[in-house]
Every structure is written in C-alpha cells, then in structure tokens.
Chain A
Amino acid sequence: MAPIIQIQNVTKEFKVLNRREGLKGSLKDLFSRDYKIVRAVDHVSMSIEQGEIVGYLGPNGAGKSTTIKMMTGVLEPSSGEILVNGNVPYKNRAKNAQEIGVVFGQRTQLWWALPLVESLKLLKDIYQISDKDYDEMLSLYRSLVDIEELLHKPVRQMSLGQRTLSDILAAFLHNPKIVFLDEPTIGLDVSMKAKIRTLIHALNQKKKTTVILTTHDMGDVDALCQRIVIIDKGKMLYDNDIEHLKRFFGSYRTLKLRLSGSRDELVEQIQKEIPECSVSSDEEWISVLVDEEKAKVMDVLSRLQQHHKIRDMKLEEISTEDVIKKIYEEGTA
C-alpha cells in the first residue's frame, strides 16, 4: 500500500518585512520597505504510513506549523511535492479537508456559543456523515470519555481541557484518514493530559487513523509516538523510530548528586575535574552527563569521591527530553 502522506523535497519561503527601529525607522518604513526571504521549511522529505502516530518535533519557529499547513492545503509549497491520500492538498483543499481532521492547541474550531452537541450535529451535516456512522462514533466516544457533561455545555463555558477534548472529538468525528494535532496538550494539567493521550491512542487503535502530532511535551511523545521526526530551522534533523533514537544515545547516563557546599562553585569545580562530561545543576541536584564510551560511571563516581562528600546520589537513563535537547544542540543525529 502506498504511504498516506508523501512529502518530497518540500521548501517554503516567506517574504518578511524588515522593520527599522525607533521613531526615525518607522518614518523611513513609511516610504521605503526592505524585505528579506525567510526559508521556513528547507528541503524536507518524509513518508508516513496509514495508522502511524508520528511525533513532529522541533523548537519554536522550526517550521512545524508551516509543514502542517502545507499538508492540510492551506499553504502552497514554494517547491517540492506533497501528496496526501493521493491528493495534492493545496490544489484541492476542500476534497483534502474531507479526509483530514485538524486540532490547533489553543484555538477552538467549534462554534463558540453553541453546546458541543450542536457543533457536532453541524459537522455531521458539513461532512455529510450518515446517521449510522454518526451514532457509532458517538457511542465509541461514550465508551472512551465521559462526554455527557460536555455535550450540553456551550464551548465558551468550557475549561481549556474540556475544550481541547471537544476539539479532538470533533476532529475525529467524520472518521478522517489523518488527524493533525498541533500541541494538543499545551497548558493542560497532568490528569487532563493523561486523559487526552489515552483518547488519542484509543482512537488511533480503533479507527486506524494516522496521527501527526506536534508537541513540546515529551510526555506526549513517550505515551503516543512510535516514530519521531525532528525539524529545526526548517531542516530535517531526524526521522526514525523512537527506540532507535534512544539506542543511539543509549550510552549516555546521567549521574545526579547532592554534595555539600555552594552549588555554583561545585559545578565549576567538578567540570574541571572531569572535563569529558557535561555538568549542570538544578534546584536539587547536580547532574553529570556521562558518555559511557568515554568514561565509566563508576570511575567518575570514585574520582568525585576523592574530593567531595557525596550526601546523596541517583543514576538516570537518558530521557527522551534529554535526547531531543542533544539533537537540537548538536544538529543532525
């Protein structure tokens, strides 16, 4: 079977106005303007299979949203080709829209003043969903989340979490082949995040929906994604499954220590003592990131013990978050 999304060598450029500074600058801008070209997405290629959940990651301004807008047909790529479900999205936006669902984190697409159930009914008509499919979907929703309290509440009275949940339900309603979720858990509390992750996972399993997820929350990635794609400054840095990524960085472990003495001075001192590791600190711990190919954790520990009194310690495997941070810092993996 052909992949559901195929992106080949896609680039998107924007013209951005250079604003001058100060009052004089504003006056100058009034009469002459100075543009520069910004490449938001730079020769990106990937292909995604039906039913995958792909985490699409990158720092702010990396080009994630631009890529998603191109896949949904809102933006036309400057060059390169995109095929979504066999369609060229921007050439046939409406047809493409029938097969996709979109949730943009904090922007609801529901009718603000209407109770959720009325929004769903309108969507049923807009997407021309049959009564049977609609009822089935609703009973599936009932089995997954407690929607009764949401159904009759106007969207404007919902909490952010309830609204996001509603938006996700609305996005899956017409059983689309692909759902794009742009930071769905942003600003939510821990229990709501868990609820939303469970819901997305279940819908992906039950309906074999392809999910493209952008997020800054590694909890989302750990809970949902088998595969991640990382992009920064428009360029693709990584595209592979998450296990591979961890294996790649598997030789890294973090040694966390609590020592007596001033923390800032200690960090500096330790860095000098073991130059092959990177040392940092937070409120509680001093962290030493050890690359086991260069130095063994036990060696590092015994070397430290010669100079310092260790009050407490623990050893951590590298987290997804650390891995991603390393990729951002080092560029291509």
Chain B
Amino acid sequence: MNLKKYTTLTRAGIMESLQFRLSSLVIVVGNLLYLIVVYFLWKAIYASAGTEVVNGMTFYDTLIYLVLATALFGFMEMYVVWDIGRSIQSGKIVLDLLKPMEYRKYMFWSYSGSFVTQFFFTFLPTFLVVAAVTKGTISFGFNLLFFVLAVAMAVSINYSIDFIVATICLYTESIWGINIMKQVIVLLLSGATIPLAFFPEPLHTIVSYLPFQSIYHTPLMLLLDGNPQPKDVVTALCTQLFWVIVMTVISKLFWKVSLRQITVNGG
C-alpha cells in the first residue's frame, strides 16, 4: 500500500487547522472552562450524596471519566455527516467520487489531520491536567496501552457510524435533523454524558448489547482500571473488535448499495 498519498492528506489537514490560531486557543480555553464546570457540578453532587462511592465510582473516577469523555468527543467528532451531507447537496460529491481513492477512505484520511491537532490541543492537555488534579487516580501502567488500543478501535467504530448516517443523506436533504439525532443517541448510549454505571438496570442491559458503549465507555473504563484482570480486558477489547468489523462492513455495504441507487436514479 502506498502510504504516502494518505499521509499527504494528513499533513494538509494539520496545516489547515493550524491556520486558525485563535480558534485553537478557544478550544483549549473552552475545554478548561468546561472541565471546571464539570468539576464543581459533580463535586456538589457527591457532597450532597453523602457517600464516597456511588455505583462503584468515586468522585475522582466520575470526574476523570466525564472530562476525558468530553475530550474524546472533541477528538472524535469530525463533522463527517455535515461535510458529506453538504457535498451531496451541492453536488460536489461527484468530484470526490472521481478521486482515485475509495470515498470512505478518502474522507477518513482527510480528517486524520485535524485528528492529530485535536489530539495535541485538546486531548493531551486535558489528560495531563486531569492526571495532575486527581493526584494519582490514573495509574500509569498497562492500562494506558489498553486505553490507546481501545481508542483506536473507538475511532473506527465512531467513523463507521458517522459514515452510515452520512449515507442516509443520500436519501434525504435533512442534514441537521439526522446529525442531531445521531449525536444525541451516540452521546447518551455510549456513556459520554453520564457514565453507564449510573444507568438503571433494564437500560444498562440494553446498552451493553449496542455498539455505542465501545466508543466512550470501554476505553475510559480500561483507563480507570489500575489493576486490570486479563479476562475483562480481553472481553472488552474483543467486543470492540467485533463491533469494528461489523460496523465497517455495514457502512461499506450501505454506501455501496446507496450509491448504486443514486447512479440508477441519475441523481
């Protein structure tokens, strides 16, 4: 495989996002402020609860979980649905389809640049601040490795979901509506807004059979577990891998079928 043509796209993406100096600052400051709000909110919540541990999570656990979930969101949300939806509406998609690269791949590698900047501007500072503030709650052992692995798979699953939703835009002109529905479902059911541990029983079971938890819940739980049991880790990573494969296949097939439809209709 010729990797160079992909890394060129990555490089262009990095340069493009660095052009926006002030926006980088806003992202950093914004995330810090957001972090502070989350901190105080949960501090008050735990103070009112009167116990140290709720649903197996301490205040620091919850804090790390939520803050890193937000940071991961900033890192994974690529506005794929918006971009593909717009280029479908404007007809620009035809030009992209002519590029000598599979469209799904082309889009992914185009985004990979902002990925890298987001990682350094949002995720890394947030991670370091959280690690410092929570004074050693995050252990620096194998769990980091598992976390990185899990995030890589989470990115893949998230991208596949985005791509499936973007494909729906070939059928309807409502980008906003579709995107907001996707975002709401993913954020809630993946445990990005509230840790899945807090979910009441029937809901918790349902969620565990869906792919969404692999996006936020799994990587974060692997990170927080300083003393991982091999069996749990393997189960978690295998479940993720399963969803990576399933979602990739579905998104590819759906795109292929939908595109044929469009070509037949002469869209």
Count of B residues near A, CB < 8 Å? 7
Query: Does B182 count as interface, using CB distance less than 8 angstroms?
Result: no
Contact B11–A30 (Cβ < 8 Å) = no
Which residues of chain B come closer than 8 Å to A19, judged between CB atoms? 19
Question: What is the distance, in angstroms, from B116's C-beta to the closest C-beta of chain A?
Answer: 11
Contact B21–A30 (Cβ < 8 Å) = yes
Q: Which of A23, A29, A33 contacts B14 (CB 8 A)?
A: A23
Chain A 28-68 per-residue mask, 1 if CB under 8 angstroms from chain B, else 0: 01100100000000000000000000000000000000000
Give the residue name and chain of the A residue nearest to B18 (CB).
A26
Chain B 1-44 per-residue mask, 1 if CB under 8 angstroms from chain A, else 0: 00000000001001100110100100000000000000000000
Give the residue name and chain of the B residue nearest to A23 (CB).
B15
Q: How far is the CA of A192 from the CA of B239 in the complex (A)?
A: 63
Contact B24–A26 (Cβ < 8 Å) = no
Give the residue name and chain of the A residue nearest to B11 (CB).
A23
Question: What is the distance, in angstroms, from B121's C-beta to the closest C-beta of chain A?
Answer: 11
Which residues of chain B come closer than 8 Å to A33, judged between CB atoms? 21
Q: How far is the CA of A202 from the CA of B11 in the complex (A)?
A: 55
Give the residue name and chain of the B residue nearest to A33 (CB).
B21
Contact B19–A27 (Cβ < 8 Å) = no
Q: How far is the CA of A30 from the CA of B28 in the complex (A)?
A: 14
Q: How far is the CA of A26 from the CA of B11 in the complex (A)?
A: 11
Q: Please provide the chain B residues from 122 to 150 with a CB less than 8 Å away from any CB of chain A in the complex.
A: none
Q: Please provide the chain A residues from 65 to 81 with a CB less than 8 Å away from any CB of chain B in the complex.
A: none
Contact B21–A29 (Cβ < 8 Å) = yes
Count of A residues near B, CB < 8 Å? 8
Q: Please provide the chain A residues from 10 to 31 with a CB less than 8 Å away from any CB of chain B in the complex.
A: 19, 22-23, 26-27, 29-30
Q: How far is the CA of A23 from the CA of B116 in the complex (A)?
A: 14
Give the residue name and chain of the B residue nearest to A25 (CB).
B15
Question: What is the distance, in angstroms, from B91's C-beta to the closest C-beta of chain A?
Answer: 13
Give the residue name and chain of the A residue nearest to B24 (CB).
A30
Q: How far is the CA of A317 from the CA of B48 in the complex (A)?
A: 93
Which residues of chain A come closer than 8 Å to B21, judged between CB atoms? 29-30, 33
Which residues of chain B come closer than 8 Å to A30, judged between CB atoms? 18, 21, 24
Contact B19–A29 (Cβ < 8 Å) = yes
Which residues of chain B come closer than 8 Å to A27, judged between CB atoms? 18
Q: How far is the CA of A30 from the CA of B11 in the complex (A)?
A: 16
Q: How far is the CA of A27 from the CA of B15 in the complex (A)?
A: 8
Give the residue name and chain of the A residue nearest to B25 (CB).
A30
Question: What is the distance, in angstroms, from A282's C-beta to the closest C-beta of chain B?
Answer: 31
Give the residue name and chain of the B residue nearest to A24 (CB).
B15
Question: What is the distance, in angstroms, from A27's C-beta to the closest C-beta of chain B?
Answer: 6
Q: How far is the CA of A131 from the CA of B11 in the complex (A)?
A: 60
Question: What is the distance, in angstroms, from B18's C-beta to the closest C-beta of chain A?
Answer: 4
Question: What is the distance, in angstroms, from A22's C-beta to the closest C-beta of chain B?
Answer: 8
Question: What is the distance, in angstroms, from A20's C-beta to the closest C-beta of chain B?
Answer: 11
Please give the residue numbers on chain A whose beta carbons come within 8 Å of chain B beta carbons, in ascending order.
Answer: 19, 22-23, 26-27, 29-30, 33
Leading 3 A-B pairs by shortest Cβ distance: A26-B18, A26-B15, A30-B21
Please give the residue numbers on chain B whose beta carbons come within 8 Å of chain A beta carbons, in ascending order.
Answer: 11, 14-15, 18-19, 21, 24
Q: Can you give 16 A-B contacts (C-beta < 8 A)?
A: A19-B19, A22-B15, A23-B11, A23-B14, A23-B15, A26-B14, A26-B15, A26-B18, A26-B19, A27-B18, A29-B18, A29-B19, A29-B21, A30-B18, A30-B21, A30-B24
